[in-house]
Amino acid sequence: MVGSVDLGYGPAGPVGRKGRPSCDVEMQMGTIYDFSAVTLQGVQTPLAEFSGQVVLVVNTASKCGFTPQYEGLEALYRKYKTKGFAVLGFPCNQFGAQEPGDASEIAQFCSRIYDVTFPMFAKIDVNGPSTHPLFAFLKSEEPGVLGTEAIKWNFTKFLVDREGAVAGRFAPTTTPKELEAEIEKLL
């Protein structure tokens, strides 16, 4: 489905919807619904299953100072899921090796410690040559501070509108509770 991905670290390449460098793919991706990801249970899931919902995409980790944000993410999910909202968690081990577990260990941790019920996906890379295509897309659509695309740490959050377009990028220090007003605007 996806061709080679240029992570867009330079000014060359196509321009995304917001006038920023975009990832270079054979078929230019338009929304998050053009991607798929594997769940912690090993099921390939098209993100089109979340079409028409407001989605918060988060790179997560079990041994991070921000790990308690799972509680706030779950609270948001439970509060707004009946209004068409979903949280999608993507474990990542690229920052201080803070997600060392396998899929089963991650699932058990999230369930046992934080009673997570929102969809959790298999561990991925969010930076570098093995970046998951979804995160290459998200970063190209909504770069971070000073226009850099690289994700700086776990619990970086991307808010996506009902049409699958990136509506915002939020630092790990932004708590789930602080996102409520932004989520409500899109619901």
Give one word for 19, left, alpha or beta, with left for phi > 0 and alpha for psi -120 to 50. left
Known catalytic residues are 64
- Give the list of residues 6+ apart from residue 67 with CB closer than 8 angstroms, or none: 60, 61, 98, 154
The C-alpha atoms of residue 152 and residue 50 are separated, in whole angstroms, by 26
> Tokens 């995160």 label which residue?
135
Look up residue 110 and give its two tokens. 């999230």
The C-alpha atoms of residue 48 and residue 140 are separated, in whole angstroms, by 20
